[in-house]
Structure 1
């Protein structure tokens, strides 16, 4: 158990938790900013957490829910007020309703997480100081009465195993695919290089044409990028030489189109995505007709986070249903993404 002290100050309306770790500040910080890692210890042992959004930058948000032994859920959210990378972040912390939206009838607390370097017998370690600020003595009593301290201690009993795992979340690993809920999937990969360069490579057509190609043998003849909320994008890929021996002048094609719903450079972008007719002259931009009229549109949430070794790229895809998620993932989507992301990493490193 890394927790070394828990104290309450009724006058200041605070509860402070101090925990010490035999790892670097950078390693501990990454455990908090990587959704794959924080969800392994944010909830109590019997109530594991699932993060559906985790955007650690000023103005960003995190959304999560904890699942109990009988399948019941309890949700929460953070709103990031300040982030000093590697040193501290400050959030508003509240409860969420079943649909994931904020519960306006529940208390909202302020929490500050501070990360400090320490010295240990074996070298350099780190310390986390987590202070929760309550709005009143009644609120402090209410929240503590709900088992906040016990839950927090149970949750943090799991963190040692997470920070000791240096391999599962490191740079150099292929795309990691995680199924979330009934109809979501999160793809994660560390791209060697800074956040700003990874963002740029997603929004400059010339760069996109060089890396976002999937398996070998494909080109990207159409690359219309959306950069602002409300913009429409369109990408079309063509397999080199496919079909030309049959007498036509084009290769096998497919494409996607969508709209930019949110944009917070260089950290977060949300877009819709629907398949379109790969014939760039067809004018088919509706995206719903490729499967007999079935809705195949997805919502894609991309978050870029600075971590040790580069940039953690997280892509949360929300499908219309579980069946479509299974069908799409079974096509080898993750393998195609890994081919593209390996090229992306090369492009980013070449620009440094």
Structure 2
């Protein structure tokens, strides 16, 4: 992985992370469209994910948990808003109760885009927060660092 940049914009309530991979766009797309591949990198090293529901279509949902080293689970949910095959995925996302039901609190929106250039794929993940409070809370919890660490696992998947 070539890490390009990570940018926080408090005025726009966004966090943008840009990476680039030695793989065609269709292959990088599979890392998102196949839940078994997604499980291999969604979450920082040592926090493996399990997707229990994965309805990969507009209006579909996903529920997952990350296994925490202390034995607990951190649950999350997605609602697929837009899917443009090999180009773009938009999901609303948030924390979930055990079992995957959305927890109370604000949802964010994550957009992943994929641009191929000379056989390499640039992936941009834009997280839009619902409020300054949500942005501050998630960044304090390590969202930026965790996402960058998670993305370091992608090269091994692409090579395998």
Scaled by the length of structure 2, the TM-score of the pair is 0.96
Q: Deviations over 1:159-210 (max 9, x none)?
A: 1111122xxxxxxxxxxxxxxxxxxxxxxxxxxxxxxxxxxxxxxxxxxxxx
Q: State how far apart, in whole Å, the 1-side matches of 2:157 and 2:120 are.
A: 15
The aligned counterpart of 1:134 is 129
The aligned counterpart of 2:115 is 116
| Rg larger in structure | 1
Which of the pair has the greater relative contact order for Cα pairs under 8 Å at 6+ separation? Answer: 2
CA contact (8 A) 1:44 1:155 kept: yes
> What secondary structure is seen at the aligned counterpart in 2 of 1:69?
coil
Q: State how far apart, in whole Å, the 1-side matches of 2:94 and 2:129 are.
A: 11
> What secondary structure is seen at the aligned counterpart in 1 of 2:56?
coil
Matches within 5 A, 1:321-340: none
How far residue 55 of structure 1 moved from its aligned partner, in angstroms, is 1.8
The aligned counterpart of 2:8 is 8
> What secondary structure is seen at the aligned counterpart in 1 of 2:23?
coil
The aligned counterpart of 2:101 is 101
Q: Deviations over 1:28-74 (max 9, x none)?
A: 00111101101000011121101112222101111110001121100
The aligned counterpart of 1:235 is none
* 2:133 pairs with 1:152: no
Q: State how far apart, in whole Å, the 1-side matches of 2:17 and 2:60 are.
A: 24
Q: State how far apart, in whole Å, the 1-side matches of 2:86 and 2:153 are.
A: 21
Matches within 5 A, 1:245-260: none
Q: State how far apart, in whole Å, the 2-side matches of 1:130 and 1:5 are.
A: 11
The aligned counterpart of 2:24 is 24
Q: Which runs of 4+ in 1 moved over 6 A?
A: none
> What secondary structure is seen at the aligned counterpart in 2 of 1:41?
coil
How far residue 137 of structure 1 moved from its aligned partner, in angstroms, is 1.6
* 2:63 pairs with 1:59: no
Q: State how far apart, in whole Å, the 1-side matches of 2:98 and 2:35 are.
A: 20
User: Runs of 5+ in structure 2 lacking a partner?
Assistant: none
Q: State how far apart, in whole Å, the 2-side matches of 1:72 and 1:14 are.
A: 29
Q: State how far apart, in whole Å, the 2-side matches of 1:69 and 1:139 are.
A: 25
The aligned counterpart of 2:120 is 125
Alpha-carbon spacing, 1:54–1:2, altered in 2? closer, same or farther (3 Å): farther
User: Runs of 5+ in structure 1 lacking a partner?
Assistant: 166-352
Scaled by the length of structure 1, the TM-score of the pair is 0.44
- The number of equivalent residue pairs is 160
The aligned counterpart of 1:279 is none
